[in-house]
Amino acid sequence: MSTPTPIPPDERPRQQWLVAALVLGCIWILPFVLGGFWLYLGAIIACYAVASLGLQLMVGLAGQLSLGHIAFVGIGAYTGVLLEKELGVPFIVASIGAALLAGFFGLLMAQLIRLSGVYFKIATFGFGIICYQLLHNLKGLTGGSFGISGIPPLEILGVDFSTPAGVFTVSAVFLTVTYVLFLRMTNSRVGRAFQALGQNEPAARSIGIPVERYKMAVITVGCIAAGWAGALIPHIYQYLSPENFTWHESLVLLIMITIGGHGSLAGAVIGTALLIIIPEYMRDLAEYKMLVYGLLLIVSMTLLPKGIAGGVDAIVGRLRARSSKPVQEVA
């Protein structure tokens, strides 16, 4: 990919926080204004956005392409639900447990980073498929293809959040927390190391970044986010089935971050919202959802290689260059 747009370093974080406030503001306000079905849709968007933010950190920032990310959402979902339903653990604790277990499996998978490049992709892919098959076949634990129903009501500290507005609020809080943490992280020392890793691994190694350790860290963090998001999924759908975690869903997550903008946190959220809203308007054509997704992916890569966020960046950059005439030359 071409070189990133040079933005003066002191300006970049401020701009990112503004964008974050804008994106999160839309997510928070719109479903409440539109109401009804949008609360449900908003919850799904916020929940998947948490997972896609994790993937964005891994793929877009640190360049570790995972083709099985949905597996970690699945691990989180089943862990959360089983903890709540079978052991009666409160939701918050269960969601943290789900996140940690997903992170643990992510760390396990990250051991495979010794397989670099092509081999890592394949390993993540294989991991995703094995996970799906386990969810499908461990009938005693997961209910097999029948899935799990009778999800306990969403309750936090004794307050009932099981209404559509309640579920949405919790999802939006999850998203806000993840987004803010990740934004802080990307602008920190660690985040810059991740970026260096994503842009040029040998160069990162040569300036003394312990590449292996950072790879493992970013994969674990990405998987923790996926697991945390997973804990919410059963509460939104009121039902859990392995079919939510096929490898196509991993692809959908990848398309979300790609269409939104490679490496952009705001882009990940926007891409997620788009890919969840679009199918709602083509219900009659549900069979061709994946065809549309595939075409979207190809078209966005041809016309907008940096995704929506990259496109907006370019427009803003051009406008700014025009308004403030003596352009500061950035090497």
Partner 1 sequence: MSFVAQIFSGIAIGCIYGLVAIGFSMIYRAMGLVNFAQAEFMMIGAFFGYSVLTAFPEMPFLAVLAIACAGTAVLGVVLERIAFRPAIRRGASDIYLVLLTLGIGMVLSNGARLIWGANPVVYQIPLAHDITRLAGYPLPTMYFYILAFMVLLLVILQWFFTKSWTGLALRAVAEDRKTAQLMGVDAGFASSFSFAIASAIGAAAGVLYAPIIYVSFDMGAVGIKAFAAAVMGGFGSIAGAVVGGVGLGVVEMVGGQLLAPEYQDSVAFAVMILVLLLRPNGLIGKGIAK
Contact status: 50 vs partner 1 (CB under 8 A):
no
Minimum Å gap between C-beta 129 and partner 1 is 6
DSSP reduced 3-state for 200: coil
> How far is residue 62 CA from its own chain's centroid?
14
Minimum Å gap between C-beta 166 and partner 1 is 36
Minimum Å gap between C-beta 208 and partner 1 is 22
Q: Which two structure tokens, joined as six digits, stand for 139?
A: 């009938």
> Is-contact 13 187, C-beta < 8 A?
yes
Q: Which is nearer to partner 1, 46 or 59 (CB)?
A: 59
Minimum Å gap between C-beta 251 and partner 1 is 6
In angstroms, rounded to a whole number, what is the distance separating the alpha carbons of residues 68 and 145? Answer: 20
Contact status: 323 vs partner 1 (CB under 8 A):
no
Alpha-carbon distances of 144 from 113, 135, 196, 241, rounded to whole Å:
31, 6, 42, 8
Angle between helices 265-280 and 37-55 (to 10 degrees): 140
Contact status: 1 vs partner 1 (CB under 8 A):
yes
Region from 73-81, 125-133, 147-155, 225-233 binding partner 1, contact rule CB under 8 A? 125-133
Of 133, 149, 206, 238, which lies in the binding site for partner 1, with binding defined by CB under 8 A? Answer: 133
Of 7, 26, 30, 65, which lies in the binding site for partner 1, with binding defined by CB under 8 A? Answer: 65
Contact status: 113 vs partner 1 (CB under 8 A):
no
Q: Which is nearer to partner 1, 54 or 97 (CB)?
A: 54
Minimum Å gap between C-beta 3 and partner 1 is 10
- Cross-strand partners of 159: 156
Instruction: Name all contacts of 176-181 with Cβ < 8 Å and 24+ positions apart.
Output: 176/24, 176/28, 178/50, 178/53, 178/54, 178/225, 178/228, 179/20, 179/23, 179/24, 179/49, 179/53, 179/265, 179/269, 180/20
Query: At 188, phi and psi to the nearest 5?
Result: -90, 180
Contact status: 213 vs partner 1 (CB under 8 A):
no
Contact status: 59 vs partner 1 (CB under 8 A):
yes
Q: Which two structure tokens, joined as six digits, stand for 299?
A: 């078209």
Contact status: 126 vs partner 1 (CB under 8 A):
yes
Q: Which two structure tokens, joined as six digits, stand for 329?
A: 């030359």
Contact status: 288 vs partner 1 (CB under 8 A):
yes
Region from 8-16, 112-120, 264-272, 273-281 binding partner 1, contact rule CB under 8 A? 112-120
DSSP 150-197: -PPPPEETTEE--SHHHHHHHHHHHHHHHHHHHHHHHTSHHHHHHHHH
**Residues present in the chain in total:** 331
Contact status: 330 vs partner 1 (CB under 8 A):
no
Of 4, 35, 87, 119, which lies in the binding site for partner 1, with binding defined by CB under 8 A? Answer: 119
Which positions ≥6 away from 146 have C-beta within 8 Å?
241
Q: Which is nearer to partner 1, 156 or 301 (CB)?
A: 301
Contact status: 284 vs partner 1 (CB under 8 A):
no
Region from 20-28, 113-121, 207-215, 226-234 binding partner 1, contact rule CB under 8 A? 113-121
Q: Which is nearer to partner 1, 136 or 235 (CB)?
A: 136
Interface residues toward partner 1, by CB under 8 A? 1-2, 59, 63, 65, 112, 114-115, 117-119, 121-123, 125-127, 129-130, 133-134, 136-137, 247, 251, 254-255, 258, 262, 287-288, 290-291, 293-295, 297-298, 301-302, 305
